Structure 1
Amino acid sequence: MNLNLYKQCYEDILYFDYQGSVKHAHMSLYDRAAQFSPFAALNGHEAAILETARMTEEKVMLTEDRKAYINEKLHFLKEHIHMKPFVDITYFQKDERKEGGSYIRKNVRIIKIDHDCHILTFDDKTKLFFEDIIDIEFL
């Protein structure tokens, strides 16, 4: 069919103003869109995009000097573990879902040092490998 045939068929109603329904209240655009949300073709797509966009950091490789500095702090902690020292510690926490992770800084009390397994235990029962430590400051 061509355009002229459509125009002839609908010419009598083509230029009428829309009056709306007398039976039903006007539906908002949000409510109209919500009618179709159960039929979204890509369920979970938005969450996947947000997860991909979430930034992580790479773990920094420490210099030998920095490793020696942290090792000295750990030996000091070992000597004073009976006091359950309070420290400001910065460490790398690997991301569970993607490559990389983030650096966390906490004020914690150290309750146990396992030099054989290279693990610190905090008062909140968090365990941390020595190799993930970036900095330790005594409070």
Structure 2
Amino acid sequence: MARLEVIMPNPYAAILDHPYPFGIPRARMPRLQRAAQFAPFDALSGFTETITERARYTDQDAELDEAQRERLDQKTRLLMERIGERPYVTLHYFEPDERKNGGVCRTVSGRLYRIDLSRQAFYLEGKAPIPVSQIRGIE
């Protein structure tokens, strides 16, 4: 069977090339700005950040028992005696999280150059001071 194609005339053919009959009161908006009007928006602003923060994992601080505290005190006294030698130490400490309960267990190594009992902090070369109350182990 032969196919019969019907070509229909375009009813707007006569006016397609004519200029717009009314003046445009303002300049046309650039395409990028027009597209931005229809872009999706965040109806619940901050929701994604809140969910991400809630999902972020934090460790719980392990409390030291009396025997562990005594061992830390002994190691601290030994280090204070040898502070002039700038001993190389590894400190295990708990860094509390600023935004939620818990924190992160960290390990830092370096040359110990000062133990400040008035400020309750250990100072390693090139590192931030580590509060004595956060230290959980010394090697």
TM-score by length of 2: 0.68
Aligned equivalents of 2:99, 2:79: Cα separation in 1: 33
Q: Percent identity?
A: 31
> What letter matches 1:36 in structure 2?
A
Determine the structure 2 residue equivalent to 1:36: 39
CA shift for structure 1 position 68 = 0.4
> What letter matches 2:137 in structure 1?
D
1:87-106 equivalence runs, <5 A = 87-106=89-108
1:73-84 equivalence runs, <5 A = 73-84=75-86
Unaligned stretches of 5+ in structure 2?
Answer: 1-34
CA shift for structure 1 position 58 = 1.7
Aligned counterpart for 1:57 among listed residues 41, 56, 59: 59
1:121-136 equivalence runs, <5 A = 121-136=123-138
* Structure 2 SS opposite 1:73: helix
Deviation string, structure 1 residues 55-76 (Cα, Å, up to 9, x no partner): 1112111000000000111111
* Structure 1 SS opposite 2:62: coil
> What letter matches 2:39 in structure 1?
F
CA shift for structure 1 position 125 = 4.1
Corresponding residue pairs, total: 103
Q: Computing the radius of gyration over CA atoms, which structure comes out larger, 1 or 2? A: 2
CA shift for structure 1 position 114 = 1.0
More helix by share: 1
